[in-house]
Structure 1
Amino acid sequence: MGTRKSIRGGVVMLLAVSLAVTGCSTMGKGTSINGESLPFVSCTTTLQPEHQLQLDVVESLMSRSQPYAALAKLENEGLATEQHWVRRGQLLASTNQVAEAEDIFQALATECDSAMGHHGLGLVYLKQGKLSEGTGQLRKARELNPSSSDIRNDYGYALLLTGGYYDAVFELRTAFELANGKGAVRQNLAAGYFITNDRSGIAMLQKRYELSMDEVAHAEKLAARLKRSR
């Protein structure tokens, strides 16, 4: 009896340790939306060195426009953190598996309630032409992480698409400064200035941030296209 009790106690102890380790990964609950089950996702944002190495390889492939190889590499190594799941959603969207990407980002937004989840879901909705839903998700992401230049840039662009031009310029100028005047936000902010007829804004971009004539011409075309889409 003493030996059996000792074994049973050891099993309980092992289960407790196992649950404690699993708890660190904060796995999703497998909730459902409109009766459809969502994927089980990890909500942990703590990256171990091996996780970072894996993501570095995936992002290197993404930067070389090899999303199919990046997706295969990601899935081969496992999805241990929220960052892994975000990359998977991004790669599914970029390989035309938009419905699957939506499921992942919906799970991240619902189960983790993170800026990354809402941001990804918002972009998927925009890709599907669901402007109102996309803008709402990007607004939530912006509330959760107001200092992210990428989120504020995408939210600002969504506002340009939906006609909130002056609010868009505010978001894009904030994103522009957070990004130190670099990246795609240059074109978006310039387009916002053209739409709102802010010539002083365009002049500022040219003088202080060396916006080229090619960039100005592209932004003007983008502004015209955005206005036509309304």
Structure 2
Amino acid sequence: MKTALVVALAMAASGCANRPLNGGHTDAVPVPAPTSERVVEEPVAPAPVRSDFRPRVSCSTNVAPEERVELEMVDTLTARGRAYAALAQLEKTQQKNIEYWLRYGQLQAKTQQLQRARSVFETLVERCETGEAHHGLGMVMVKQGDLQSGLSALRRAARLLPASPDVRNDYGYALLMAGRHDEARFELITALELENGAGRARQNLAAAYMLSGDSAGLERLRQDYHYTDDELAHARSLANQLRRF
């Protein structure tokens, strides 16, 4: 039950995250179906932490013009919420650059192929050591219920990409899940300021203030960033979910 809630919360907050290169999960990600429904759909035993799929990834940053066109088509489909179609488009021709493989891992995660996504990001981390790879790996680990490993990967991503609002937001949210509210607030404030007061960090940061019982801080946040009643209601619901966790 605890693992199922970890997955649901992680999906609600971030989605795998990532904009096509620096975290594409500003898009809303649907909350997974209840556990009982998933059992019907996936009656087999859970896969091991590491799968046999070991992709031959490339760390090259060189993207030919025609390859860029293909990647932009994939990004358009992803932005429209058509992750399965985006993955099919991506698989038409395998490219030899890291942008291709980051999208491949992200789309595997979006289509719930978490073991395959984890293998992609683990390989990218081992061979390329990029912040984007650590970010993707951390988000997959959190979705799998491996919160502590996910935190470690996201912390590394934040060190490699300190000015990425998506990374700082996702790391902050994972810290909230771990009950580390003060640390989470630092990351989420950073994400909010990097986004000039916009983005998903708004609700996450408000929830962090609620969880720490800092009503004065929450009021300052509301005034400084002009929170709506709907946003605060969403943040309150999120905080209640995290308290149960």
1:199 Cα offset (Å) = 2.1
- TM-score (normalizing by structure 2): 0.76
Stretches of structure 1 that go unaligned for 5 or more consecutive residues are 1-32
User: Paired residue for 1:212?
Assistant: 228
Moved more, 120-129 or 55-64: 55-64
Moved more, 87-96 or 76-85: 76-85
Instruction: Name the SS of the counterpart of 2:132 in structure 1.
Output: helix
Task: Say if 2:85 is the partner of 1:69.
Answer: yes
User: Paired residue for 1:10?
Assistant: none
Looking at structure 1, the residues matched to 192 and 66 of structure 2 have their Cα atoms a distance apart, in angstroms, of 33
CA contact (8 A) 1:105 1:120 kept: yes
User: Paired residue for 1:202?
Assistant: 218
User: Paired residue for 1:54?
Assistant: 70
Q: Which amino acid in the other structure matches residue 161 of structure 1?
A: M
1:227 Cα offset (Å) = 1.6
User: Paired residue for 1:80?
Assistant: 96
Instruction: Name the SS of the counterpart of 1:163 in structure 2.
Output: coil
Structure 1 residues 36 and 95, CA, compared in 2 at 3 Å: closer, same or farther? closer
Task: Say if 2:103 is the partner of 1:92.
Answer: no
Looking at structure 1, the residues matched to 101 and 232 of structure 2 have their Cα atoms a distance apart, in angstroms, of 37
Larger Rg: 1
Instruction: Name the SS of the counterpart of 1:77 in structure 2.
Output: coil
Instruction: Name the SS of the counterpart of 2:92 in structure 1.
Output: helix
1:36 Cα offset (Å) = 5.5
The aligned runs of 1:37-186 (5 Å cut-off) are 38-186=54-202
Q: Which string of whole-angstrom CA distances, capped at 9 and with x for unpartnered residues, describes residues 72-97 of structure 1?
A: 11111322321111111111111121
- TM-score (normalizing by structure 1): 0.81
Instruction: Name the SS of the counterpart of 2:236 in structure 1.
Output: helix
Structure 1 residues 51 and 202, CA, compared in 2 at 3 Å: closer, same or farther? farther
1:196 Cα offset (Å) = 1.3
1:172 Cα offset (Å) = 0.5
Stretches of structure 2 that go unaligned for 5 or more consecutive residues are 1-48
CA contact (8 A) 1:39 1:104 kept: yes
The aligned runs of 1:15-54 (5 Å cut-off) are 38-54=54-70
CA contact (8 A) 1:86 1:116 kept: yes
Looking at structure 1, the residues matched to 50 and 75 of structure 2 have their Cα atoms a distance apart, in angstroms, of 33
Q: Which amino acid in the other structure matches residue 92 of structure 1?
A: Q
Looking at structure 2, the residues matched to 84 and 166 of structure 1 have their Cα atoms a distance apart, in angstroms, of 36
Aligned-pair RMSD on alpha carbons?
A: 1.8
Structure 1 residues 205 and 82, CA, compared in 2 at 3 Å: closer, same or farther? same
Q: Report which structure shows greater RCO (CA 8 Å, sep ≥6).
A: 2
* Fraction of identical pairs, as percent: 45
1:226 Cα offset (Å) = 0.7
CA contact (8 A) 2:51 2:119 kept: no
Moved more, 64-73 or 51-60: 51-60
Looking at structure 2, the residues matched to 48 and 194 of structure 1 have their Cα atoms a distance apart, in angstroms, of 48
Query: Greater helix share, 1 or 2?
Result: 1
CA contact (8 A) 1:38 1:106 kept: no
